[in-house]
Amino acid sequence: MNVFMKNVVLLCFFISSSASASDLIMARSSLPFSEAMTNLQVSIKEHGYTVARVQRIDVGLTGMGYETDKYRVVFVGKIDEIKYLVNKYPEMLPYMPPKVSIFAEGEDTLIVTVNPQIFAQMIEDEKDKIIFQRWESDVYSVFDDFRRAE
């Protein structure tokens, strides 16, 4: 199993075993997929984050019978913070960098991510939990930008 699939499986397990609806953040845009993807990446960068990688996963979905070419996972983060967290909390490695899924649904484009506060539950240091509070605030701001883009 490659690294990406391990991360997907672990993330799905983590979400299904401990997440409620409030632990997921989602936004919808009426923009076509390619424009929505561009706007998402611009907003991410404007908030001071790096788009580490954009991974197509439609090949795997097509193999499972889904008909879509508009499904990506965007790996996002602040490199120094990710390195700090992974070095201090190695158990967080499978969840870093945070991911945003973007996909087309009919005429709309949706994005969804896990609320970063979930990760704060994995650590005890209150000083480090502030990182996840800031990430959560930034996610809501990026997702608001995504909703309002025209």
Summarised one tens digit per residue, pLDDT across range 122-138 is 999 999 999 999 999 99
Question: Amino acid identity, residue 8?
Answer: V
Using only C-alpha atoms, the chain has a radius of gyration, in whole angstroms, of: 15
Domain 3-148 indexed as CATH 3.40.50.2000? no
The confidence score (pLDDT) of residue 57 equals 80
For residue 80, what are its two tokens?
């120094």
C-alpha distances in Å from residue 28, one per residue of 16, 46, 94, 110, 122? 22, 20, 27, 4, 29
Name the average pLDDT for the chain: 86
Q: Who's near 77: CB < 8 A, 6+ residues apart?
A: 49, 50, 52, 96, 97, 98
Q: Per-domain residue ranges for the chain?
A: 3-148
The confidence score (pLDDT) of residue 62 equals 67
| pTM as predicted | 0.80
How far is it, in rounded angstroms, from Cα 138 to Cα 26?
13
Give residue-wise pLDDT tens across range 34-82.
999 999 999 999 999 999 999 988 666 667 776 666 889 999 999 999 9
Task: Give the containing element (helix H, strand E) for 101.
Answer: strand 99-105
For 27, counting Cβ atoms within 10 Å of its Cβ (0-12 exposed, 13-18 middle, 19+ buried), the class is: buried
Give residue-wise pLDDT tens across range 14-35.
444 444 547 999 999 999 999 9
